[in-house]
Chain A
Amino acid sequence: MVQLSLKNIQKQYNESIIAINNVNLEIEDKEFLVIVGPSGCGKSTLLKLIAGLEPVTDGEIYFNRQLINHLPPQKRDVAMVFQNYALYPHLTVFDNLAFTLKRSKIPKQEIKQRVESIASMLNLQLYLHKKPHELSGGQCQRVVIGRAIIRQPSFFLMDEPLSNLDAQLRLQMRVEITKLHKELESTFLYVTHDQTEALTMATRLVVMNEGTIQQVGSPEEVYNKPSNLFVAGFIGSPPMNFFEATINENVIQIGENSFEIPDKHRGKLQNKREVIIGIRPEHFHLNLTHSIIFHVNIDRSEFMGTENYVYATYNNQPLITRLPLNAPLLNSIQLSVQMEHVHFFDKETTNRISIEECR
């Protein structure tokens, strides 16, 4: 069932700044939807529009099929976790958690019970009488989450909730939030610029750039079939390698090198003369069994524990690949790539050219 639906959403701050441009999105009941994109892409603005903290310039927001454009944030039944905690600094942890319950005129006894049960769920019992400035980052984060879940809303908005935490704590909280999503059986709309968070937590992923949606799909879909050059370059670390290429009849020409296109992959490609090809770093292999061979010069390598990141040059263009630790790192080596792992993008529109359809 669709719980939240955004129709032709537009947000303009003045004549020149368009923060959100014609966004259409449907969020299913109980899903964990992650919006990912670089800073300034409009993802946090979108959350504020949904929460009602800022008015939309144009378009409609429906919550359970009811238009909610005109509703103030108090009446939208959403909970929000803010990027920089936004705890009430003058109130104790107890009062921070109880704030929203007090607004709904719930009896004192029940407020106490509910605060205590949330506190024990989040391991905050010992801190109930402390003020936010006496807590560590991880404890603050748990209070923020507690403040959001205590009202038992059906919809959660999370604006980069882990960006203030150190790496280890972030990993731990990532697991806890995913667990929480399963336990609460609510809908989560989670915004992040961190692609690892996006790929690991999402049931569905939305990639945004410059106020528009670039792609919506499962993490696997977005990673394996990026819909355009931006998504291909943004998702994946280290990022995808891109090369300008020309298609001549059955041949892909990259600089002075050319490779024949296998029969099964012809079709759409032949019409496109100027393309950009993309290859992920992990898809270069040392054994030369695949049809496309790259002669590369290695510049340097980084030891990553289980593998090496190798920085090389191909045809005067930089190339990054991930190779096993035992790979011989000579000045010049050959790498092969399977045709299935080559992504094609139209040079003009930057959109993906699907070759799978032609099989």
Chain B
Amino acid sequence: MVLLFSNSSVQDFFSPIWLSLKISVIASIFVILIGTVVGRFLGRASFKGKSIIETLLMLPMVLPPTVVGFILIVVFGRNSIVGQAIEWIFQQPIIFTWYAGVIAAFVVAFPLMYMSAKSGFQSIDKNIEDAARVDGASEWQVFLFISIPIASKALISGSILSFARCLGEFGATLMFAGNIPNKTQTIPTAIYLAIDSSNIYLAWLWVLTILIISFLMLFFVQMKQK
């Protein structure tokens, strides 16, 4: 217990929480924005190859996290073209940085947001959007003032689920961003390491933290859906 309250252990405890929140918030912002736009576009569009694109977007949801991690390493690793381009532009590789955590969280959370947004937009009566067009609204205004507010329930649920998924991301993050304390260690990877090194107290604290955050978010989604 004494150990728990020393300065360094306070930092040990809070560091993964802050990092988890930072990665989840940033990844969620991208997931929500891109998922909403893609959900709206693919929800209404019909073109050849649409099913293939949709399947690819949904794939991370069913793949083992190790497979997602593997693919991310192949695509963004130091030997790939993308990885080398990033290294050339930013003067540092992306793998084993917290940015890698953001990318891993984005990839696994995107399908959740995309599915919610798409079904939200698809359930809007097309005549309502058409009425707004006839009433003088541009496509952008229809999207902003009509489609998004009407689909707001689905968008909010999708956003919260995506954030929760980002927060809980473990496998792909471990492989692609690593588990470096104070640098890339998030709550799930920290719990894994704490148990591995028999630091049960710390594991408990993190477990409780993530339980409370996740419970509150899912509870909010349930309330919203009523």
A84 contacts partner chain B, Cβ-Cβ < 8 Å: yes
Quick check: which of B88-96, B135-143, B209-217 contacts chain A, the rest being far away? Answer: B135-143
Which residue of the partner chain B has the closest CB to A81?
B131
* Residue from the list B128, B133, B137, B138 in contact with A89, Cβ < 8 A: B128
In contact, B128 and A86 (Cβ under 8 angstroms): yes
Given A88-B146, A89-B150, A104 and B136 touching (CB < 8 A)? yes
CA of A86 to CA of B136 in the docked complex: distance in angstroms?
Answer: 15
* Residue contact A83 to B135, C-beta cutoff 8 Å: no
Residues of A within 8 A of B150 (CB): 88-90
Chain A residue numbers with a CB within 8 Å of B136 are 74, 100, 103-104, 151
Complex: A90 Cα to B131 Cα, angstroms: 14
- With the chains together, A300 CA to B94 CA distance in Å? 86
Contact of A82 with B131 at beta-carbon distance under 8 Å, contacts A89-B150, A90-B149, A90-B150 already known: yes
User: For the complex, what is the distance from the CA of A90 to the CA of B120, rounded to whole Å?
Assistant: 14
Mask, B32-48, CB within 8 Å of A = 1, is 00000000000000000
- A47 CB to closest chain B CB, in angstroms? 10
How far apart sit A79 and B150, CA to CA, in the bound complex (Å)?
A: 22
In the complex, what residues of A have CB within 8 A of residue B138's CB? 74
Contacts of B89-138 to chain A: CB distance below 8 A? 125, 127-128, 130-138
Contact among B125, B127, B130, B135 with A99 in the assembled complex (CB-CB below 8 Å): B135
CB-defined contacts of A80 to chain B, threshold 8 Å: 130-131, 134
> Which residues of chain A come closer than 8 Å to B134, judged between CB atoms?
51, 53, 73-74, 76, 78-80
CB pair A53–B130 under 8 Å, yes or no, is yes
A82 and B132 in contact (CB under 8 A), knowing A74-B138, A88-B146, A103-B137?
no
Residue of B nearest to A157 (CB): B134
B128 near A88 (CB under 8 angstroms)? yes
Q: Is A72 an interface residue (CB 8 A)?
A: yes
Q: Mark A261-280, 1 if CB is under 8 A from B, else 0.
A: 00000000000000000000
The CA of A103 and the CA of B149, in the complex, are separated in Å by: 17
- Whether A73 lies near B133 (C-beta < 8 A) is yes
- Name the residue on B nearest A48 (C-beta): B130
> Nearest CB to that of A153 among chain B residues?
B134
User: For the complex, what is the distance from the CA of A84 to the CA of B130, rounded to whole Å?
Assistant: 12
Residues of B within 8 A of A285 (CB): none
With A84-B125, A90-B149 already in contact, the answer to whether A74 and B130 are too (CB < 8 A) is no
A193 touches B (CB below 8 Å): no
Q: How far is the CB of B124 from chain A (nearest CB, A)?
A: 9
List, in ascending order, chain A residues with CB within 8 A of B131's CB: 80, 82, 86-88, 147
Nearest residue in A to B141 (C-beta to C-beta)? A103
Q: Which of A61-114 contact B (CB under 8 A)?
A: 72-74, 76, 78-80, 82-84, 86-90, 99-100, 103-104
Q: How far is the CA of A72 from the CA of B132 in the complex (A)?
A: 12
Most-contacted residue by chain A among B125, B136, B141 (CB, 10 A): B136
Q: Which residues of chain B in 9-66 are interfacial with respect to chain A, using CB atoms and an 8 Å cutoff?
A: none
Residues in chain A within 8 A of chain B (CB atoms): 48, 51-53, 72-74, 76, 78-80, 82-84, 86-90, 99-100, 103-104, 147, 151
Taking A82-B127, A86-B131 as known contacts, 17 extra A-B pairs with beta carbons closer than 8 A to each other, sorted by chain A number, are: A48-B130, A53-B130, A53-B133, A53-B134, A72-B133, A73-B133, A73-B134, A74-B136, A80-B130, A82-B130, A86-B127, A87-B128, A87-B131, A90-B149, A100-B136, A103-B135, A151-B136
5 cross-chain CB contacts under 8 A: A86-B127, A86-B131, A88-B131, A100-B136, A151-B136
